[in-house]
Structure 1
Amino acid sequence: MAARANAENFEELVLKSELPVLVDFYSDSCIPCKMMAGVVGDIEDDYEGKLNVYKVNVNFDESLASKYEVLAAPTFVAFNKGAETGRIAGKTTKDALLGLFEGLV
């Protein structure tokens, strides 16, 4: 399961990461978020050492959700070298998520 990121460690874990990062902005009460958990876990397992995966709970870290203009859960945001490079809101596919990192992993 992807590690949790929060307002205190987001810069270190995500923005300063040497590897590309997928951030899953989720909510515990969100059914589509729960449906995507396996997909996110597969990506984390399949791309270990090539891509970091973190989860941010929008209910506990509202400041991060607001800063990154997350309006729905789940929202998946791709980062590379500290910059947002793409995003997908809502239930999606593994291939679509990996498409956010085309040429990077």
Structure 2
Amino acid sequence: MVVNFSAEQSNACKIQEPEIEAISKVYQGRVTFTRLDVKGQDDLTRQWKIDGNPTLVFFKNGHEVYRITGIMMRDKLRRLIEGVLLAE
């Protein structure tokens, strides 16, 4: 699972969103992608230590295995999914 912590008003998040939409189609049925709007979610962002937008948090078997803050383009996102989430 990849959770996209983002904010609608963020220009970086606006750039990131189409990249995630495109890659989610490639991994449909294998990786779940979800978006969480951080606006008004101060407790949640503190709990998950979200320092910037967008922040992508990768989970495998219910545990966080990787995170990255900032824009991640499709190719890098694909490499991370293959190496972090889909690796045996």
Counterpart of 2:45, as a letter, is: A
Structure 2 residues without counterparts, runs of 5 or longer? none
Counterpart of 1:29, as a letter, is: Q
The two structures, once aligned, show a CA RMSD in angstroms of 1.5
Structure having the larger proportion of residues in helix: 2
Assess if the C-alpha contact under 8 Å between 1:85 and 1:100 holds in 2: no
In structure 2, the residue matched to 1:33 is 13
- Residue 23 of structure 2 is aligned to residue 54 of structure 1: no
* TM-score, length-scaled by structure 1: 0.73
**Aligned residue among 68, 72, 85 for 1:88:** 68
Aligned-residue sequence identity (percent) comes to 26
* TM-score, length-scaled by structure 2: 0.86
Q: CA deviation at 1:47?
A: 0.6
**Aligned residue among 56, 80, 83 for 1:100:** 80
Say how many residue pairs are matched.
Answer: 85
Counterpart of 2:49, as a letter, is: E
